[in-house]
Amino acid sequence: MASQIFFYQMLNDTKAFINLSIFYKYARTLNPDFKRFKKPKQKIGIRASSTLTLLHMDTTILRV
């Protein structure tokens, strides 16, 4: 997927005019290292220990 995005970016920037299959052929022979994008893990919020135990959360701001 990253190589296909790179291919279309090259076409839009008019850096190269090649077919997609030829691009994959060169990409396979050159074997570049593409940076993989990883989504950050979502933090686990407040969990209830059993059903109906967490019905209300107090969001009062206390100024001391």
Helix axes 20-30, 2-12, angle to 10 degrees: 120
Cα–Cα distances in angstroms (integers) from residue 4 to residues 27, 49, 54, in the given order: 10, 46, 47
For residue 50, name the pLDDT band (cuts at 50, 70, 90). Answer: confident
Any domain includes 28:
yes
**pLDDT tens digits for range 18-36:** 777 877 787 777 776 767 7
Distance, in Å, from the CA atom of 14 to the CA atom of 8, rounded to the nearest integer, reads 10
Percent of the chain with pLDDT over 90: 0
pLDDT at 39 over 80: yes
C-alpha 24/C-alpha 30 separation (Å) is 10
Q: Of 3-12, 30-39, 40-49, give the range with the top mean pLDDT.
A: 40-49
What's this model's pTM, rounded to 2 decimal places? 0.33
- Cα distances (Å, whole numbers) of residue 50 to 36, 53, 55, 64: 39, 6, 11, 34
Establish if 27 belongs to a structural domain. yes
Domain membership of residue 57 (yes or no) is: no
Domain count, the chain: 1
